[in-house]
Chains A and B, each alone.
Chain A
Amino acid sequence: MDRVNFRTQIITRHLTNHHTSTTNLLQTATCLNYSPPELSEPSSHFDTNALRKLLDGESMDEIDHMFNLMIQSDLFCRRERGGKVFISPDFNEPMEKQREMTMRRIGYLKEQGVFDGWLTSKGGEAELLGFTRANSCGVFDHSLGIKLGVHFFLWGGAIQFMGTKRHHDKWLRPTETYEVIGCFAMTELGHGSNVRGIETVTTYDANTQEFIINTPCESAQKYWIGGAANDATHAAVFSQLEINGVNEGVHAFIAQIRDGNGNVCKNVRIADCGHKIGLNGVDNGRIWFDNLRIPRENLLNSVADVSPDGKYLSAIKDPLQRFAAFMAPLTSGRVTIAASSMNTTKKGLATAVRYSLSRRAFSLKPNEPEVLLLDYPSHQRRLLPLIAKTYALNFASECLKTIYVNRTQESIKIVHVVSSALKATLTWHSMRTLQECREACGGQGVKTENHVGQLKSEYDVQLTFEGDNNVLMQQVSKALFMEFIAAKKKTKPIEGLGLEHLNKPAPVLPLNLTSSTLRTTQFQTDIFCLRERDLLHRFVSEVSQRQAQGENKEHIFTMTYQIAEDLGRAFSDRFVLQTFLDVEATVPAGSLKNVLGLMRSMYTTIVMEEDASFLRYGYLSTDNAAVVRKEVLKLCSELRPHALSLVSSFGIPDALLGPIGFDWVASNSWSSVKHV
């Protein structure tokens, strides 16, 4: 366009009231106006509140209460962008300041009574409440969620589950009131996921009835200990216990590491882990113990104890079993990580999808308006399957919480396997989604205040802490292998973990798939079960063959990782599908059920399209894989009209999303610039 003409138009537009609609479309098209997706998108076909209730269940009120508390406090960095209030930590502040702000926010939440009864109330409901509170804080800032998680789930959990009455009476209440600030000293420089390999050593002195904790070498320094660098007064220290020269394995002890004034205790040395790619609001530290003496009562003695005269006492003789029983209750960490990764995913997706419903790029023909990002099939393919997957995984995460809080002695194995599989699957999904959202938002995605980019580095560590994802997935296949072998040995049908389908004859899949077959629950269940079943059989036969050749079991599991990885994913996907179906079954026929069905089909189809194992092992022929691929396209266009309602049903308040999800023209206008 003629430059002079162009400038004149802009100036005219500024001079005249830009609200008055002009009939000349060409003139108004020279400058973009933001139009909220609420106006252009069809109104929801289903009750968005009812869908949210399927995600958040009974916790909805508590979640919203937490959001209310955070949004109304100045400590949560309220800022106005484009006429709306947003809250988000100031990531531009130095690490020290971010840490200070985290603690001040905790102080505020404590004042509000958020922590009352967190550890001292009993029962599943109280446990769920704890999850809800920590995770709601995590929606605002991962650092805040993690600081609470370390203090309540790790330190508090260690006292609750590894300790006995004397520890509960002494430590739980002061933990709720933050008179005691706890940390969880397990990981060392030299050992992380392999907890049994840690090198810290504790011995016992019967004369003084004290334990002596020692860091014998540099690789035994405690590492990444959240809260240790600044704030923690006490630590649950994990260490090898040596009694009379015999190593009794890993045990946990309570050690005071700082006094009431915040000074590091004698015989303890603490250093900072320094600046990190994210989570800088958490003060991760390193700890060395120089023959630190602690009272005998500080051994967390739920599984084993040492008598005053120095005898080692435990009902469980096998050290391996003892270790397993000891560690079992600590799955709560994985449960919250899985749940919190869903919140992050929802936050990123809601922002990116809202942006894609207001941002346009390129005209398909001259003089036509530019096309809305989410009207491009390729953009739909990038974002819409992630929405469906997020719903599917979120249902699974809720199911995991229920399994966890209703756990019994018998179900501990299930809790372990499911939490391992889901922690890995959900956090991987979270990172992948955030990366896709970042790219889908273009340049705006790299701007910190828009969240999607920043969240990647804030949450990346989820893939590693509380068990490296790859290690966890290997444990899943290993557990499935054990279950299978155990059932075979007893010549009993296999039970639990949803594996019952293995007792039935193998499902037969139709030779030629059609769009309608792909959408039946029968087919979806069949192919997911077939894949799990076949991979488990293949895994068992490969391991058995190698065993027959006399190979060592651990070595075998190391060598068969490829199939083990495929199996881990197959288990997780089938489990997720099952929980999805369970949720769907609770919904009466109608528009909500229809959209759930659509999302379930999207979830199963996308898994088939993306996971190479379907082609690799022949569950899909190349022809059928082509049908699957085509179906993805179709499902995308059918989900497209629901996109806005689906991300609204996530229930993340506007204030916690990125400003580009809203009026990004106003939030970037010259008048919004702070002129110095």
Chain B
Amino acid sequence: MAQTNQVLVTQRSNVRTIILNRPEQLNVFNLKMTCQLLELLQAYEEDPTVKLIIFKGEGRAFCAGGDIKAVVDDINKGSWKQGASLFSTGYKVHYLKATYTKTQVIILRGIAIGSGAALAIHGTFQVVTDNTVFALPEAALGSFPDAGSSYYLSRLPGFFGEYVGLTCVRLDGAEMLACGLASHYVPLEKLSSLEDALCEANTGDPKIINNIINNFSNKNPKLKEKSPYYRLKTINRCFSKRTVEEIISALKDADKNMDDWISMTIQTLKKALPTSLKISLRSIREGRLQGIGQCLIREYRIICTVLQGVFCRDFFEGYRALLVDKDKNPKWEPSKLEFVSKRMVDYYFVPLADKGWEDLKLPARSNLTSHAISKL
């Protein structure tokens, strides 16, 4: 197996293109790939000959997230900490990307899911296209939106971020552009010419790059008729509520006729793991008042608590029901929102009481420019 080929790099003058190359697995990244990404990013930041980095995925997908199967295998072998190392390395990649001093263009062809979505969002420019699909299905899987999602979701307009994080809704390219998850929409057929143009320009100047991408862009891609983005007003009214329970009851009150969208949203929320919903909501709310570094440190505490599986085994149940047995009928425990107390949620937000466990150590940054601190 040519392991080294899972991350490809092409080089054209001062531009590097990083290609996730595991197309059969929808470019799901494993520990090895993550380490490679980290090394590449660190090297390019130091390398004065690198001005621009383009990210893309090989095949149908941009990236379907982290390799959960490998993590679960590790845990079943008895080492949840081994499983956690994929996350700690991955979070460092996200941190680096979010605070990077060089310009990045991420081309999102196909699906970008979970931490794969995060990989795309932490960067200077996100180019979406006709077949882009964005989703954070973690709450359905027994986990929560991590990888810095609490940072960027909380910075979407109004309370759209809470909606996206809690309902696992899929967004297409046009919706991503509308809500600010993407910076440009370029039609599929123009993507390769865009890449060529970027390489020819051979510059890291964000303004010039922005102009180049604009030349290929569709400025106003049509939102699909039933896009949830048209429901922003209702979303703001409901998803701004203090608790998940209040959000659901606000949704029920929002429309007496219970149109499809509302009843579907309520359905999804009721099906998702109750603990996950509460963790996700709190994580996004805290993230709104924090920087990307703090967000990742908090999310790392949560994910380790999830993987450790002391308080709750739902993560493994979600994995079983959705990815192994595929019965899509996970049995959550606690099974209802009202059984998840504030104290139970609190456990996920404090450092783990496990010998040898440490908070996420983020790589030191020598030069944190303002545009690097905040993207959205």
A→B interface (CB under 8 Å): 17, 19-21, 34-36, 38-39, 64-65, 67-69, 71-73, 82-85, 111-113, 653-655, 662-663, 666-667, 671
Q: Within 8 Å CB of A72, what residues of B?
A: 157-159, 236, 240, 288
Q: How distant is B43 from chain A, measured CB to nearest CB, in Å?
A: 14
B278-301: CB near A (< 8 Å → 1, else 0) gives 000000011011010000000000
Other-chain contact of B285, A64, A84, A85 (Cβ < 8 Å): A64
**Distance of A72 Cα from B284 Cα, bound (Å):** 12
Which residues from 181 to 229 on chain B have a C-beta closer than 8 Å to any C-beta of chain A?
Answer: 204-205, 207
**Distance of A575 Cα from B182 Cα, bound (Å):** 55
A34-B369, A38-B291, A82-B370 known; 18 new pairs, CB 8 Å cut-off, are: A17-B51, A17-B204, A19-B204, A21-B367, A34-B370, A35-B368, A39-B368, A69-B240, A71-B288, A72-B158, A72-B288, A83-B374, A83-B375, A85-B155, A112-B240, A653-B288, A653-B289, A663-B370
Instruction: Name the residue on B nearest A81 (C-beta).
Output: B370
**Distance of A525 Cα from B238 Cα, bound (Å):** 52
Q: Within 8 Å CB of A111, what residues of B?
A: 237
- Tell me whether A84 and B48 are in contact (CB under 8 A): no
Other-chain contact of A64, B101, B205, B286 (Cβ < 8 Å): B286
Instruction: Name the residue on B nearest A67 (C-beta).
Output: B289
- Tell me whether B285 and A36 are in contact (CB under 8 A): no
Instruction: Name the residue on B nearest A38 (C-beta).
Output: B368
Q: How distant is B96 from chain A, measured CB to nearest CB, in Å?
A: 14
- Tell me whether B288 and A36 are in contact (CB under 8 A): no
Q: Within 8 Å CB of A20, what residues of B?
A: 48
- Tell me whether A73 and B365 are in contact (CB under 8 A): no
Q: Within 8 Å CB of A68, what residues of B?
A: 240, 285, 288-289
**Distance of A36 Cα from B286 Cα, bound (Å):** 21
- Tell me whether A65 and B48 are in contact (CB under 8 A): no
**Distance of A333 Cα from B288 Cα, bound (Å):** 31
- Report 30 cross-chain contacts, Cβ distance below 8 Å, ordered by A residue: A19-B101, A34-B369, A34-B370, A35-B368, A36-B368, A36-B373, A38-B368, A65-B242, A65-B285, A68-B285, A68-B289, A71-B288, A71-B289, A72-B158, A72-B236, A72-B240, A72-B288, A82-B370, A83-B370, A83-B373, A84-B370, A85-B374, A112-B241, A113-B246, A653-B288, A654-B289, A654-B291, A662-B370, A667-B370, A671-B207
Contact of B231 with A by CB under 8 A = no
Which residues from 342 to 376 on chain B have a C-beta closer than 8 Å to any C-beta of chain A?
Answer: 365-371, 373-375
Q: How distant is A188 from chain B, measured CB to nearest CB, in Å?
A: 42
- Tell me whether B241 and A113 are in contact (CB under 8 A): yes
3 nearest A-B residue pairs (beta carbon): A663-B370, A83-B370, A653-B289
Contact of B122 with A by CB under 8 A = no
**Distance of A226 Cα from B204 Cα, bound (Å):** 55
Instruction: Name the residue on A nearest B351 (C-beta).
Output: A47
Q: Within 8 Å CB of A35, what residues of B?
A: 367-368
Q: Within 8 Å CB of A67, what residues of B?
A: 288-289
Interface size class of B (residues with CB under 8 A): 20 to 34
Contact of B22 with A by CB under 8 A = no
Instruction: Name the residue on B nearest A665 (C-beta).
Output: B370
**Distance of A83 Cα from B99 Cα, bound (Å):** 12
Other-chain contact of B374, A17, A21, A38, A84 (Cβ < 8 Å): A84
Contact of B102 with A by CB under 8 A = yes
Chain B at the A interface: mostly helix, strand, loop or mixed?
A: loop
**Distance of A655 Cα from B159 Cα, bound (Å):** 16
Q: Within 8 Å CB of B241, what residues of A?
A: 112-113
Instruction: Name the residue on B nearest A84 (C-beta).
Output: B374
**Distance of A64 Cα from B365 Cα, bound (Å):** 28
Q: How distant is B376 from chain A, measured CB to nearest CB, in Å?
A: 9
**Distance of A111 Cα from B155 Cα, bound (Å):** 21
Instruction: Name the residue on A nearest B14 (C-beta).
Output: A17
B98-127: CB near A (< 8 Å → 1, else 0) gives 000110000000000000000000000000
B49-63: CB near A (< 8 Å → 1, else 0) gives 001000000000000
B→A interface (CB under 8 Å): 48, 51, 101-102, 155, 157-159, 204-205, 207, 236-237, 240-242, 246, 285-286, 288-289, 291, 365-371, 373-375
Q: Within 8 Å CB of A73, what residues of B?
A: 158, 236
Q: Within 8 Å CB of B375, what residues of A?
A: 83
**Distance of A19 Cα from B158 Cα, bound (Å):** 34
Q: How distant is A425 from chain B, measured CB to nearest CB, in Å?
A: 30
Instruction: Name the residue on B nearest A82 (C-beta).
Output: B370
Q: Within 8 Å CB of A34, what residues of B?
A: 369-370
**Distance of A38 Cα from B246 Cα, bound (Å):** 37
Instruction: Name the residue on B nearest A34 (C-beta).
Output: B370
Q: How distant is B32 from chain A, measured CB to nearest CB, in Å?
A: 29
Instruction: Name the residue on A nearest B242 (C-beta).
Output: A65
- Tell me whether B373 and A84 are in contact (CB under 8 A): yes
Q: How distant is B294 from chain A, measured CB to nearest CB, in Å?
A: 10
**Distance of A67 Cα from B291 Cα, bound (Å):** 15
**Distance of A82 Cα from B158 Cα, bound (Å):** 21
**Distance of A317 Cα from B205 Cα, bound (Å):** 82
Instruction: Name the residue on A nearest B287 (C-beta).
Output: A68
Known: A64-B285, A68-B289, A85-B155. A19 touches B374 (CB 8 A): no
Q: Within 8 Å CB of B48, what residues of A?
A: 20
Instruction: Name the residue on A nearest B45 (C-beta).
Output: A19
**Distance of A73 Cα from B157 Cα, bound (Å):** 8
**Distance of A111 Cα from B238 Cα, bound (Å):** 10
Q: Within 8 Å CB of A85, what residues of B?
A: 155, 374
Q: How distant is B288 from chain A, measured CB to nearest CB, in Å?
A: 5
Q: How distant is A411 from chain B, measured CB to nearest CB, in Å?
A: 31
**Distance of A654 Cα from B155 Cα, bound (Å):** 13
**Most chain A Cβ neighbours within 10 Å, of B48, B368, B369, B375:** B369
- Tell me whether B369 and A19 are in contact (CB under 8 A): yes
Instruction: Name the residue on A nearest B365 (C-beta).
Output: A39
Q: Within 8 Å CB of A667, what residues of B?
A: 370
Q: How distant is B84 from chain A, measured CB to nearest CB, in Å?
A: 22
Q: How distant is A556 from chain B, measured CB to nearest CB, in Å?
A: 53
Q: Within 8 Å CB of A671, what residues of B?
A: 207
**Distance of A19 Cα from B46 Cα, bound (Å):** 10
**Most chain B Cβ neighbours within 10 Å, of A65, A655, A671:** A65
**Distance of A71 Cα from B236 Cα, bound (Å):** 13
Q: Within 8 Å CB of B370, what residues of A?
A: 34, 36, 82-84, 662-663, 666-667
Q: Within 8 Å CB of B374, what residues of A?
A: 83-85
**Distance of A68 Cα from B48 Cα, bound (Å):** 41
Known: A69-B240, A72-B240. A666 touches B371 (CB 8 A): yes
Q: Within 8 Å CB of B373, what residues of A?
A: 36, 83-84, 663
Q: Within 8 Å CB of A64, what residues of B?
A: 285-286, 289
Q: Within 8 Å CB of B365, what residues of A?
A: 39
**Distance of A322 Cα from B226 Cα, bound (Å):** 66
Instruction: Name the residue on B nearest A48 (C-beta).
Output: B294
**Most chain B Cβ neighbours within 10 Å, of A20, A69, A653:** A20
Q: How distant is A393 from chain B, measured CB to nearest CB, in Å?
A: 24
Q: Within 8 Å CB of B368, what residues of A?
A: 35-36, 38-39
Q: How distant is B209 from chain A, measured CB to nearest CB, in Å?
A: 12
**Distance of A67 Cα from B242 Cα, bound (Å):** 12
Q: How distant is A258 from chain B, measured CB to nearest CB, in Å?
A: 29
Q: How distant is B183 from chain A, measured CB to nearest CB, in Å?
A: 14
Instruction: Name the residue on B nearest A62 (C-beta).
Output: B242
Instruction: Name the residue on A nearest B376 (C-beta).
Output: A85
Q: How distant is B74 from chain A, measured CB to nearest CB, in Å?
A: 31
Q: Within 8 Å CB of B369, what residues of A?
A: 19, 34, 663, 666
**Distance of A65 Cα from B239 Cα, bound (Å):** 12
Q: Within 8 Å CB of B242, what residues of A?
A: 65
**Distance of A439 Cα from B289 Cα, bound (Å):** 28
Q: Within 8 Å CB of A666, what residues of B?
A: 369-371
**Distance of A656 Cα from B36 Cα, bound (Å):** 39
**Most chain A Cβ neighbours within 10 Å, of B101, B157, B367, B370:** B370
